[in-house]
Every structure is written in structure tokens, then in C-alpha cells.
């Protein structure tokens, strides 16, 4: 069996002062994604930063980053429409106009650490409808059981096409905690025939990623989800995290999906 490996190199929260290897410029992000591709990643989940390292939904920066990546490797691009807590929803949703293969869709507003992650119901519906129109595959990020129910309401309204693609995000302060019991409970509640991965934030990253693989999920790795390779040891870039996840999958007798297999397993739209 093949598993899809996603790299999430940057994220919305950390800065270089937290980990000097965090890629933030388009050039740094493209280089990090290329290395991750060589280590087995076939999807790149992207957050962009401006020249002051602040999260941005600037279309020029996003376009440039996507182009630089495409020059280096054929990895599938998944733009984050989460962008960053300080960026208004109405700016974030415009990223879809660049027509990446995939983009995230966060179904609910929630507390997010000390901040607020704003995803208002009318905005989420508008974004889901526009993604369907432009044939951008949504990656549905669910942080708690109620988010799963919210996604299924969007599905019932005809705003989402099958197969649904979920990320179960555990470990955000404001969402469900990163525990094996929560992961199993969320997996049991997923609709059948969906594809999914665990996004385990922080300390439990390695353990929960392993459990997710054992339960039949895909996997994600990168500095967005943890800045550390292990307790007290900062990861020296994204590649060590991606390589370790690839190794974890192989040790479970799973093979790493190629670019073509990823296209098929995730039912990605043509470009």
C-alpha cells in the first residue's frame, strides 16, 4: 500500500527566531520543498510570509513561490487558505484564484492558542463554492468532532465533491488534544471512502503520525507542525522531519506514493 507524504514547511505561527531553519521567503520555501520532494514528499502545503516574516495572502508572493517550486520539481501544490490568524478571511479566500491543485478549507471559527481563527459560515460556504467552480480540491481541516459535522453539512448542501479529503488536526489549543484516543475517535467518525491524514501539532507529532499511518492514513511532516526532531532538539530544516516520516512509513511496510500515485489516490483535478 502507498501513502501520500505532505510537507508543511512554514506554517502560520513560528518565526526564524523560534527555529532558524524555518523557510519564509519564496526562494527559501521553494528550496525546502524541493529537498522534501527528494525525500519523498509529493504534496507541498504552503503558507506565505512577507519580507518581515508576517503571514500574508499576497497573490504575487504566492504566485512567485508556486512558480519557483514548479521550476524545481513536479510536487503537487496545496495552498493554505488558513494563511495566518491576523489575515482577514476575505483576503485569504482570494488565494484560490491562483487555481492551485489543492487548498485548505477550515470549516469553523475557533480559538487558536491565544488568538482567534476566523472562518465564518457564509465565508466558508462562499469559499467552498468557489473552489468547486475553479476545480481546486479542498483539504478539509477538522480540529474537533463538531468540525466533522460542519463539513458533512457542506457536503449535504452540494458544496463538496467526493472523495472527501480530511486532515484531522490535533493539538491546537482550542481544538481537540493530541491523544491516540482522540485520533481513533475522529477516524471512526469519518465518512467511508474518504482520504485522510493526521496533522499532529507539537510534542505528540511523531507518535500520532505513526498511529495515523498504522490506522491507514496518509502522513504530513514539517516545521509547521513541530519545530523539534525530538525533545530538546530543534529540527535542522524540514528534510530531517520528512525523511524520518518516510522511514516510519517504510518500517510499517508502506511505500511512499509517487507523484502519479498521489494524483490518483487523492483524485486531484487536472492542470
Residues lying near Zn ion in the complex (CB under 5 A) are found at 80
x/- mask, ligand KMH, residues 192-211, rule CB under 6 A, reads ---------x----------
Using CA atoms, how far residue 203 sits from 131, 184, 233, in Å, is 33, 18, 12
Q: Compose the 222-241 pattern: x for residues touching ligand KMH by CB under 6 A, - for all others.
A: --x-----------------
Question: Residue 256 carries which DSSP code?
Answer: E
Q: Which is nearer to Zn ion, 159 or 199 (CB)?
A: 199
Q: Are 3 and 43 in contact (CB under 8 A)?
A: no
Q: Which helix (H) or strand (E) holds 31?
A: helix 26-38
Question: Which residue, among 19, 13, 70, has the nearest Cα to 224 in the 3D structure?
Answer: 13
Under the binding rule (CB under 6 A), the answer on residue 80 touching ligand KMH is: yes
Choose the contact partner of 81 out of Zn ion, ligand KMH, none; CB within 5 to 8 A by kind: ligand KMH
Extract the runs of DSSP E, i.e. beta strands, from 146-211. Answer: 165-170, 195-200
169 sits near ligand KMH (criterion: CB under 6 A): yes
Q: Which is nearer to ligand KMH, 172 or 183 (CB)?
A: 172
CA proximity to 79, closest of 60, 98, 64: 98
- Provide the minimum distance between the beta carbon of 119 and ligand KMH in the complex, in angstroms, as a whole number: 9
Residues at the interface with ligand KMH (CB under 6 A): 11-12, 80-82, 104, 106, 141, 169, 172, 201, 224
Amino acid at each position: 500500500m502507498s501513502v501520500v507524504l505532505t510537507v508543511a514547511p512554514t506554517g502560520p505561527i513560528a518565526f526564524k527566531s523560534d527555529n532558524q531553519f524555518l523557510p519564509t521567503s519564496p526562494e527559501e520555501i521553494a528550496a525546502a520543498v524541493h529537498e522534501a520532494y527528494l525525500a519523498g514528499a509529493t504534496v507541498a502545503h504552503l503558507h506565505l510570509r512577507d519580507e518581515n516574516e508576517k503571514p500574508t495572502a499576497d497573490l504575487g508572493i504566492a504566485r512567485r513561490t508556486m512558480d519557483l517550486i514548479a521550476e524545481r520539481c513536479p510536487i503537487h501544490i496545496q495552498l493554505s487558505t488558513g494563511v495566518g490568524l491576523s489575515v482577514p478571511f476575505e483576503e485569504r479566500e482570494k488565494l484560490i484564484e491562483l487555481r492551485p491543485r489543492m487548498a485548505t478549507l477550515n470549516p469553523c471559527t475557533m480559538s487558536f492558542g491565544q488568538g482567534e481563527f476566523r472562518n465564518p459560515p457564509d465565508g466558508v460556504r462562499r469559499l467552498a463554492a468557489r473552489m468547486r467552480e475553479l476545480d481546486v480540491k479542498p483539504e478539509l481541516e477538522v480540529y474537533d468532532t463538531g468540525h466533522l459535522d460542519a463539513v458533512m453539512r457542506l457536503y449535504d448542501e452540494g458544496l463538496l465533491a467526493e472523495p472527501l479529503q480530511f486532515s484531522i488536526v490535533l493539538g491546537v489549543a482550542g481544538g481537540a488534544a493530541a491523544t491516540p484516543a482522540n485520533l481513533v475517535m475522529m477516524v471512526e467518525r469519518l465518512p467511508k471512502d474518504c482520504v485522510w491524514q493526521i496533522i499532529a501539532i507539537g510534542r505528540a507529532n511523531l507518535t500520532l503520525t505513526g498511529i495515523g499511518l498504522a490506522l491507514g492514513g496518509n502522513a504530513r511532516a514539517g516545521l509547521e507542525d513541530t519545530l523539534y526532531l525530538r525533545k530538546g532538539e530543534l529540527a535542522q530544516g524540514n528534510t530531517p522531519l520528512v525523511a524520518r516520516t518516510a522511514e516510519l512509513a517504510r518500517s510499517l511496510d508502506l511505500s511512499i506514493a509517487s507523484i502519479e500515485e498521489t494524483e490518483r489516490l487523492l483524485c486531484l483535478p487536472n492542470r
